[in-house]
Amino acid sequence: MPASRLTRKVAALPAKLRRLARSLHAGQATPDDAWALAALTPSEGRVYLGMDARDREHAVRVAQALLTDHPQASGELLAASLLHDCGKSVRPYRVWERVAVGLVPGRVSRWVPLGALYVRGFHPELGAALLSGVGARTGVIELVRRHHRPGGDPDAALLHRYDNLE
């Protein structure tokens, strides 16, 4: 692994551990749903509300951090930041699964596509399909699809960066 990638992974570890600790009890999550829903279309809002409260809280933190640093971000980028993990809602995690999959790198989970690991590895594609099925905005769908593999898309790269920081 190149040193710069290892440095980024190590730097992201404290945030991942905080998120893991918060993820143990759904009752501890306090997402700002009213703020989030104001940025979404009605169909996108229904998908958002179908997400686990812990994932919604994470999504709001990602969106608010992104907007703080990039107030000129497009409405589609804001919506994608709120919906980027909606693919995880196709199969709710048990507490032990949430902990276990949080410890497995995303690329590894794509090699073992079973149960919770399948959802972990393929949630961007699952989320894009879910959003497409409800008529979400095309740009939102594509950003959700690419949020772990941004390629040359600067908005997807920005979403990926803020998702990893949280």
| Tens-place pLDDT, residues 50-100 | 999 989 999 999 999 999 999 999 999 999 999 999 999 998 878 778 777
As given in the structure block, the two tokens for residue 81 are 């930041």
- The answer to whether residue 117 scores a pLDDT higher than 90 is no
Task: Read off the pLDDT band of 1 (50, 70, 90).
Answer: low
Distance CA 108, CA 141 (A): 24
CB 83 within 8 A of CB 77: no
Give the pLDDT confidence score for residue 114 in this predicted structure: 80
Q: How many residues belong to the chain?
A: 166
As given in the structure block, the two tokens for residue 15 are 């945030």
As given in the structure block, the two tokens for residue 36 are 């989030």
| 83-97 pLDDT, tens digit each | 999 999 998 878 778
Number of domains in the chain: 1
DSSP symbols for 41-96: -HHHHHHHHTS-HHHHHHHHHHHHHHHHH-TT--HHHHHHHHHTTGGGGGSPPPHH
Enclosing domain of residue 95: 3-165
